[in-house]
Amino acid sequence: MTIEKLVSEIKRKKSFLCVGLDVDITKIPPHLLETEDPIFEFNKQIIDATYHVAVCYKPNTAFYEAYGIKGWKSFDKTIKYIKKNYPDIFTIADAKRGDIGNTSTMYAKAFFEDLNFDSVTVAPYMGSDSVEPFLAFENKFTIMLALTSNKGGLDFQGREIKSGEPLYKEVLKTALTWKNSKNLMFVVGATKADYFKGIREIAPNSFLLVPGVGAQGGSLEGVCEYGINKENIGLLINSSRGIIYASNTTDFAKAAKIEAEKLQTKMAVILAKNNII
Amino acid sequence: MTIEKLVSEIKRKKSFLCVGLDVDITKIPPHLLETEDPIFEFNKQIIDATYHVAVCYKPNTAFYEAYGIKGWKSFDKTIKYIKKNYPDIFTIADAKRGDIGNTSTMYAKAFFEDLNFDSVTVAPYMGSDSVEPFLAFENKFTIMLALTSNKGGLDFQGREIKSGEPLYKEVLKTALTWKNSKNLMFVVGATKADYFKGIREIAPNSFLLVPGVGAQGGSLEGVCEYGINKENIGLLINSSRGIIYASNTTDFAKAAKIEAEKLQTKMAVILAKNNII
């Protein structure tokens, strides 16, 4: 998918909502456990109930790998289901991969070719040649961790380096000099809304994937104040638990729909306020 | 597996060799492509030919994920084969995972419970709560990236922080203060043998997993000069391509055996020189 297509979908749906498909089998409605593939069945119903207000789905690989081959099958079925039924939706494999060059190429093939995701999240610690193999794929996007939403996030990301800047700012600046950096997006946690101003000074046009709204305590309005980019929006706001676990009974998909629509309504107001729609 | 058991196996085999099972289907002997599961068949023959001189096998997940569900099955069969036939061998899932707390717990379950690996590699960028869920498992080991062997490794790992130290030293120091840090090991690339002195000042007793010997240009003797720890050895030296691709014909397992034995012979000399055996 191209950036232009993603931006046009955001405008059409008046939404920059990403739904995180982090499916823990112990948290899904019990009646689904009798189906052949409970995780896929759960995802299918969540997707069908929310696609009209979501521009993006983001399954996190951890929740599938935890169930071995069975989990990997659910993961595969989920991406295929989205691609077949909702081809205009942007897809993110939240995998946080990264390795030496020839190995990163194998990961890129796994997510971009075998599974046909539009994007994958990667970790920056191993540097340029661990990320550039992902960036080499045209119309595929590599979403690199910059500033994460967890409490340990600042352990190293916030470490002040010699120039006086925190590490995450150096990570952003450096990555933007890499080959094919036009295919980069960044993960920036919503729990740190104040940081968006400084990040936009470094990366004014980059798309930012923002987890941490909802269960983790981040504020949508806070993020958008500095995070939104009037030209191409530049934000994908992820909500996982707040949507997918809105109810634990047979009405779970309906409850997810209501929560997703609430977020989309707020997003439409923000887009209008910024004269984007 | 316990550290004591690992050390006793190293002494018994006079070897601290780890064989990296990074299997690219385009590089394996063509006659194997006619078998039902070429990657597993390749691994099985490599393992059978080298287990007498290796204390550790390390499949890298990228090379299996690249082939989707089929690859995941080869991965699963490989670890099961090792556990069943060579239960005294230490196993590493080279996965370089790391995520927010509840998600890292899912990864830990995937590798430590579902697949029953003895250890898994993780990335440090997300900080304490992304690694501690792995460390909570008893007699399982979490091998965190510290200083990697690739050319981009120093992009961030070598960045000087305010204290005047490079980031990787801060990563080592900080990680050793985390809960259950006794279950930590570190990845330190062999291509930077000079750095082992400084690393041993910070982490004198930690096991170090050392890739980069062989195809990547690192020297075994150089690493051991400062890296070896007279009490518990503290080194696992990985070789992948130099062993597994020693030949591309029907004699590939025999060729791998010869290369693995060459390394083991050198290791026995080093162990004797250090009065360990």
Q: What is the DSSP string of A116-135?
A: --SEEEE--TT-HHHHHHHH
Which of B64, B74, B103 to substitute to test the interface with A, most A CBs within 10 Å? Answer: B103
Cβ of B125 and A100 within 8 Å? no
| Predicted ipTM of the assembly | 0.96
Q: Structurally, how many domains does chain A consist of?
A: 1
Q: Does A162 touch chain B (CB under 8 A)?
A: yes
Which of A74, A94, A103 to substitute to test the interface with B, most B CBs within 10 Å? Answer: A103
Mean pLDDT check: name the lowest of A4-8, A28-32, A161-165, A212-216.
Answer: A212-216
Query: What are the tens digits of pLDDT across the range B99-132?
Result: 999 999 999 999 999 999 999 999 999 999 999 9
Neighbours of A59 (CB within 10 A): 27
Query: What are the tens digits of pLDDT across the range A152-205?
Result: 999 999 999 998 999 999 999 999 999 999 999 999 998 778 899 999 999 999
| Cα–Cα distance measured from residue A260 to residue B261, given in angstroms and rounded to the nearest whole number | 60
Q: Tell me, letter by letter, the H, E, C secondary structure of B144-176.
A: EEEECCCHHHHHHHCCEECCCCEHHHHHHHHHC
Q: Which of A69, A94, A159 sits opposite B76 (nearest CB)?
A: A69
Q: For tokens 């004591």, what's the residue?
A: B4
Residues from chain A contacting residue B68 (CB–CB below 8 Å): 72, 76, 110, 114-115
Q: Considering chain A, what percentage of its residues have pLDDT values greater than 70?
A: 99
Strand partners, B233: B229
Of A267, A125, A147, A219, the closest CA to residue B144 belongs to A125
Give the single-character DSSP code of B202: H
Predicted local confidence at residue A194, as pLDDT: 84
Confidence band for A215, pLDDT divided at 50, 70 and 90: low
Residues from chain B contacting residue A125 (CB–CB below 8 Å): 123-125, 145, 148, 156-157
Q: What part of B 94-153 touches A (C-beta under 8 Å)?
A: 94, 96-104, 106-107, 109-110, 114-115, 123-131, 145, 148-153
Per-residue pLDDT of chain B (277 residues; tens, 9 = 90+): 999 999 999 999 999 999 999 999 999 999 999 999 999 999 999 999 999 999 999 999 999 999 999 999 999 999 999 999 999 999 999 999 999 999 999 999 999 999 999 999 999 999 999 999 999 999 999 999 999 989 999 999 999 999 899 999 999 999 999 999 999 999 999 877 889 999 999 999 999 999 988 766 778 999 999 999 988 999 999 999 999 999 999 999 999 999 999 999 999 999 999 999 8
Say whether A138 sits in a helix, a strand or coil.
coil
Give the single-character DSSP code of A170: H
Q: What part of A 166-225 touches B (C-beta under 8 Å)?
A: 167, 170-171, 174
Predicted local confidence at residue A149, as pLDDT: 86
CATH of the domain at B151: 3.20.20.70
Predicted local confidence at residue A177, as pLDDT: 98
Predicted local confidence at residue B215, as pLDDT: 66
Name the residue range of residue A122's domain: 3-273
What per-residue string of b and e applies to B168-192 under the rule 16 or more CB within 10 Å gives b? bbbbbebbeebeebebbbbbbbbbb
| Cα–Cα distance measured from residue B275 to residue B270, given in angstroms and rounded to the nearest whole number | 9
Cβ of A98 and B101 within 8 Å? no
| Cα–Cα distance measured from residue A39 to residue B11, given in angstroms and rounded to the nearest whole number | 46
To the nearest 10°, report the CA torsion of A147, A151, A156, A157. 10
Of A103, A133, A111, the closest CA to residue B238 belongs to A103
Mean pLDDT, chain B, rounded, equals 96
Burial class from Cβ neighbours inside 10 Å (0-12, 13-18, 19+) for residue A84 reads exposed
Q: Which of A22, A69, A99 sits opposite B69 (nearest CB)?
A: A69
Predicted local confidence at residue A192, as pLDDT: 75
Q: Residue B185 in contact with residue A156, Cβ under 8 Å?
A: no
